[in-house]
Amino acid sequence: MSLSRRKIVRAGVFAFGTLALAACHDSTAPLNVTPDQLQSIGESIATEIEGGITQLTAQDVMSTNGGAPTFARVPRPVATMFRGLSLNRVASSASAVAQCGVASQSPPVDSDGDQVPDNFSVTFSLPACHYQDLTDTYDITGVLSISDPQPGTAGMALNFGLQNFKLAFSGSNGSGYVQRDGSGSVSVSSTGLSQTQHWAEAGVVTGVASVNAAINWTATFAAAQGQSITAGQALPDGTYQPNGSVTITQGNRTATFSLETKEPLVYSAACAAGVAQGTSVSPFSSGRVRVTVTSQQVNAYAEVTYSSCNAATVVLVSQ
Q: Is the pLDDT of residue 252 over 50?
A: yes
Domain coordinates in residue numbering, the chain = 14-217+243-256
User: DSSP secondary-structure letter at 57?
Assistant: S
pTM of the model: 0.84
pLDDT tens per residue, range 234-243: 899 999 999 9
3-state secondary structure at position 192: strand
Look at 91 and 136; give whichever has higher pLDDT: 136
At 173-224, the pLDDT tens digits run: 778 888 889 999 999 988 899 999 999 988 887 777 678 889 999 999 999 9
Q: What CA–CA distance (Å, rounded) separates 230 from 57?
A: 10
Those residues with Cβ within 8 angstroms of residue 158's Cβ, 6 or more apart along the chain or in another chain: 57, 58, 61, 116, 146, 147, 148, 149, 185, 186
Contact indicator for 208, 175 with CB cutoff of 8 Å: no
In whole angstroms, give the CA distance from residue 307 to residue 312: 7
Residue 43's pLDDT band, with cuts at 50, 70 and 90, is confident
The pLDDT score that the predictor gives to residue 19 is 54
Contact between residue 251 and residue 265 where contact means Cβ atoms under 8 Å apart: no
How would you write 94-144 as a 3-class SS string? HHHHHHHCEECCCCCCCCCCCCCCCEEEEEECCCCCEEECCCEEEEEEEEE
Nearest CA among 235, 66, 47, 53 for reference residue 159:
66
For residues 192 and 229, is the Cβ–Cβ distance under 8 A? yes
| pLDDT tens profile 302-313 | 899 999 999 899
Length, in residues, of the chain: 319
pLDDT at 267: 97
- Between 81 and 55, residue with greater pLDDT: 55
Each residue's pLDDT tens digit, 100-125: 889 999 889 999 999 999 999 999 99
Residue 61 has pLDDT above 80, yes or no: yes
Q: Tell me how far apart the alpha carbons of residues 277 and 262 are, in angstroms, rounded to a whole number.
A: 29
Report pLDDT for 204: 82
